[in-house]
Structure 1
């Protein structure tokens, strides 16, 4: 893992920890052209795992997590992220698969990310 990938993962982990009280246990980020694709494992808190034991609970946790992440990035790009990749963040696409406790975030930047 490059220093840039590790630093990007640290920023993503910090945002998630501040927002949910728990950051992902593992993150792997790939830089492709103007995209940063992050795969996150071990995201759910014990409370979310408890709620997600029913189909309705899974839907609720999924909706809350997806909406909260997108809202946070829409309001404020995390400190240091744009400086690290050398480009402005344009869009964030994010989803989580509750059953596997795995999430994917695709960050779309204005310019290609130099490795």
Structure 2
């Protein structure tokens, strides 16, 4: 893993830990042109796992997780993210599969990642 990918993953992990109380257990990120595509494994807190035992609970955890992360990035990227990749953050697409405890985030930047 390159140093840039490792540092990118650390920024993502810290933000999610601060936001949700638990960061992902593992993150796999690839840079493709102007995108960083991250697959995040082991995201849910024990409380979220308990709530997600019902279909209504899964829907609630999914909505809360996706909405919260979208809102945070809409306010601006985490400190150091743009400097690390050498490009301005434009948008985040994010989703989580509650049953498998896997999330995917696609970070879009204004130019190719250097």
* TM-score between both structures, scaled by the size of structure 1: 0.98
**Equivalenced residues, count:** 114
C-alpha separation in 2, matches of 1:77 and 1:101: 24
Structure 2 match to 1:85: 85
C-alpha separation in 1, matches of 2:54 and 2:62: 12
Structure 1 match to 2:6: 6
Deviation at 1:76, TM superposition (A): 2.3
**Runs of 4+, deviation exceeding 4 Å:** none
Deviation at 1:103, TM superposition (A): 0.1
* TM-score between both structures, scaled by the size of structure 2: 0.99
Structure 2 residue runs without a partner (length 5+):
none
Deviation at 1:77, TM superposition (A): 1.0
SS at match of 2:74: helix
- 1:18-97 maps to which residues of 2 (within 5 A)? 18-97=18-97
Structure 1 residue runs without a partner (length 5+):
none
SS at match of 1:107: strand
